Chain A
């Protein structure tokens, strides 16, 4: 077995030191009813690197990769170009095969990277402090709600109707167990987000108001008036962002009054990966709230010689010290994805991020214009960043399936996201990034023209 260095000679010599006749003697505490005679039945035996690679390549080939088709899927996961150097750096063994930096003297590489990552996220979100990452956007969203309930000592949560439905499901699931009451709403196919309806649901028992920005339909809610209403009632505004590239083009949530900003960082550096691992981002605008934050935090300090260094800090919030009184049970987070994000963001810089965002927006505007010309297609929202909703004369979910058979990945149908809401069945979410070409846009337009004729 190529990964196991011990030889039979080694094993015999070691058993002699231990004073055991054979390896079975080391498993003597396993009760007889759980002992097995040989390898567990029903599984294959070991295989060569070549054979395993062949098997896995076979499975890989049964998928249609995004690069191999005109591709317009988004809805919380976006395809962006990741520079080659990002993958090179995250494969360096000193990053890839390190553990959580609990011994700071020999983990300054990871710690300094985390400090830089936290700083980048805080700037992007317009916040004071960001943590060292969460699992993904959806779990970060729940953690933000939970944190707001701790701060306000209230437990009513008002969700925007245009929050990603998977995120809503995660919140509903967790709230069943924590006793938070959820005031949610269904999405409506309107050109503008329903701010008035959302604000009307905020009351003096409300702990948090949760708004996605840009929202699930690609619209851009004006957060400032929601923040004002939330604060008037003593509630905190939680803003969820699933496309960080957008923040290169639109105002930051912190600038507009958000108290806690969370999101999915996958767009920068991480890749699609069929949904995971992704990267939960988590930041607060007011540094006073830091001690209620979940997850790890990296901070600056000095060593015994007075040299600058970094450590994990404020750990008393965390499970390994506070146990049942911890702010969250999270332990392992998304460290390597945070590195990928940070490297990609460093390559972009302010200038690159703004150009990337402008390029995404321009291509999305182009796609919206081209698709609007197709008979049977209507653009829903006049304002958007790189994703918008079109209404098709027909069942969008079926059309997406049929187009996939023809090798066009047309977007995410609202029927896929909201199978129970028949009135949304015509909706199709179309995401456009720098990876989308003019030819892709025309391929989609042509396919839709044919399908809707």
Chain B
């Protein structure tokens, strides 16, 4: 399994044809207390770089973009009951959705953990 990062602060785990997407610890820190997460319905086709989910704090709503294109296979039902998972476990239990990867070449150009850490340091 390998993990990639985007400049919009999403992470993406790739395992075979399936990818899991969430937002990074840095992103949740910036957003503050998460009060609501809107995840895409199963079967939705998401496009790389287009909004796929919404994450809300009390005073802000932010779009979460699909790091790559694909079809949504599963979304994290636990977030509906407990959106705070995004704060407490952003890069594990607080994942947003899983998708079937349409085109693996879209992973090229995403950052690895080291590159992302450097990117965040530069902000």
Contact = CB atoms under 8 A, between A and B. Distances in A.
Interface of A: 291, 314-316, 321-322, 325
Nearest to A316: B61
B59 interface: yes
A322 B61 CA distance: 7
A435 to B, nearest CB: 46
Given A291-B36, A315-B59, A321-B59, 14 more contacts: A291-B38, A314-B36, A315-B58, A316-B36, A316-B56, A316-B57, A316-B58, A316-B59, A316-B60, A316-B61, A321-B60, A321-B61, A322-B61, A325-B61
Q: Is the interface of A mostly helix, strand, loop or mixed?
A: helix
Contacts of A291: 36, 38
B35 to A, nearest CB: 8
Nearest to B56: A316
17 contacts: A291-B36, A291-B38, A314-B36, A315-B58, A315-B59, A316-B36, A316-B56, A316-B57, A316-B58, A316-B59, A316-B60, A316-B61, A321-B59, A321-B60, A321-B61, A322-B61, A325-B61
Interface in B26-80: 36, 38, 56-61
Interface residues of B, number: 8
A291 B57 CA distance: 14
Interface of B: 36, 38, 56-61
Contacts of B59: 315-316, 321
List of 10 A-B pairs having minimum Cβ-Cβ separation, nearest first: A316-B61, A316-B56, A322-B61, A321-B61, A321-B59, A321-B60, A316-B60, A315-B59, A291-B36, A316-B36
A316 B34 CA distance: 12
Most central of A314, A316, A322 by chain B CB within 10 Å: A316
Contacts of B57: 316
A315 B60 CA distance: 9
Nearest to A318: B61
A314 B83 CA distance: 14
Contacts of A316: 36, 56-61
A321 B61 CA distance: 7
A314 B59 CA distance: 9
